[in-house]
Structure 1
Amino acid sequence: MANCCSEKSCEIEALRDKQSKTLKIVLAINAVMFVVELSAGILANSVSLIADSLDMLGDALVYIFSIYVIARGARMKAFSAMFKGAIMAAFGLFVLGQAIYSIMVSHSPSYEAISIFGVVALLANAICLALLWQHKAEDINMSSVWLCSRNDIIANISVIAAGIGVWLTSSAWPDIIVGFALAFLFMKSAIFVLKEATLELKTATS
């Protein structure tokens, strides 16, 4: 009888275990950072921080669903990716609404809080991206997760830039502009993931 570890099924099981462990770690990081950034965003009156915290929440939900579908087939993984795309789109619309509301209602965000927590979030997401990098080409489930993490890095850099911009201009506009940019990024990524998921679903059912 052949050794289990030399069989394809054993290799797949080992890969699934590795994916699950990685997703659980990044899930914990994102859950903690959601609470931290949301609290900071509310206290600092910052659209960009609130937007970034919602991105963290969205990622946490995505990771939970991704863990669930690891051992499932291609069809379920395609549905998982569609779920992630829907989350991205929903948060994109919410952030867009927040940015528009901030234009209509005058506010003065704290550039210190924006910059500090932007750096903290960047470090947290850099760890997540490094952990997910090795899995990005394994299947649509992990590639869509990696895309979420890559977007987080872009969002964090934008938040830091917003803090610097608020400090230099003594205006809320840099914070609002970054809010609009993050909303656009969410929507663009949502469209990409939904298209990929649709193609994967067609392949899985054909």
Structure 2
Amino acid sequence: MKSEQATGSVASTLRRLVLTVAGLNFAWFWVEVAVALAIGSVALFADSVDFLEDTAINVLIALALGWGARHRAIAGKVMAGILLVPAAAAVWQAVAKWGDPTPPDVGWLAATAGSAAVVNGVCAWLLARVRTSGGSLSRAAFLSARNDVLVNVAIIAMALVTLWSGSGWPDLVLGLGVVALALHSAMEVWEVASEEHLAAKALAGEDID
């Protein structure tokens, strides 16, 4: 009985945290996407789409907490696919600007990335406490929030390089860097989800290929 109560308490805490994180991400998506489109920043646009992706991940986690191990593993693989969304957005923007990568407004770029880093830092801090409690689901959420902080810091550094060089290429290159980061995170989440799937099959007495 105590074990079931403890499990229920962990699930309740995780659900509350991921819904809080989802709300923060959804609110900040609108801020970043508006600024990114206004100043024409590839990197900031990719990061704004990432806020929307984080919203979807955390909402799905809240919905999936009541599922069994097998369904959680499947949801984890879906999360891995969702992590590729910002990568596709960054590629689209990069291709559109490839011929003439004009530099974005440095002031707005740095200020928006700085505030986004604070939001993502809070989200990563909240999720760090439960990243091992929900398997691939909570791991997906934590990895995404952590990576977002790294991207925000990189955008601030890129803004300084842009100010020094007067070129749009640093923004373009960083946008493509977001692609590589998303691919790495997706691979990690997929691997964890695959392990959970095999464990679920073993518990069910099924053959493991």
Query: Which residue identity is paired with 1:160?
Result: I
Paired position in structure 2 for 1:163? 159
- Matched residues in 1 for 2:157 and 2:74: separation? 35
Query: Which residue identity is paired with 2:97?
Result: S
Paired position in structure 2 for 1:200? 196
Q: CA deviation at 1:79?
A: 1.5
Which of residues 107, 112, 120 in structure 2 aligns to 1:112? 107
Paired position in structure 2 for 1:132? 127
Q: CA deviation at 1:125?
A: 0.6
Number of residue pairs the alignment of both structures matches? 201
* TM-score of the two chains, using structure 2 as the length reference: 0.91
Matches within 5 A, 1:9-24: 9-24=4-19
* TM-score of the two chains, using structure 1 as the length reference: 0.93
Establish whether residue 191 from structure 1 lines up as the match of residue 209 from structure 2.
no
- Matched residues in 1 for 2:101 and 2:113: separation? 22
> How big is the alpha-carbon RMSD for the aligned residues of Structure 1 and Structure 2?
1.3
Paired position in structure 2 for 1:150? 146
Q: CA deviation at 1:71?
A: 1.6
Paired position in structure 2 for 1:86? 81
- Matched residues in 2 for 1:143 and 1:106: separation? 35
Query: Which residue identity is paired with 1:82?
Result: K
- Matched residues in 2 for 1:37 and 1:75: separation? 36
Is the 2:57–2:140 Cα contact (8 Å) retained in structure 1? no
Which of residues 148, 160, 178 in structure 2 aligns to 1:182? 178
Q: CA deviation at 1:37?
A: 0.2
Q: CA deviation at 1:105?
A: 3.6
Q: 3-state DSSP class of the match of 2:67?
A: coil
- Matched residues in 1 for 2:157 and 2:95: separation? 20
Paired position in structure 2 for 1:58? 53
- 5+ residue gaps, structure 2, are 203-209
Q: CA deviation at 1:89?
A: 1.8
- Matched residues in 1 for 2:72 and 2:185: separation? 17
Q: 3-state DSSP class of the match of 2:103?
A: coil
- 5+ residue gaps, structure 1, are none
Does 115-124 or 81-90 show the bigger shift? 81-90
Paired position in structure 1 for 2:31? 36
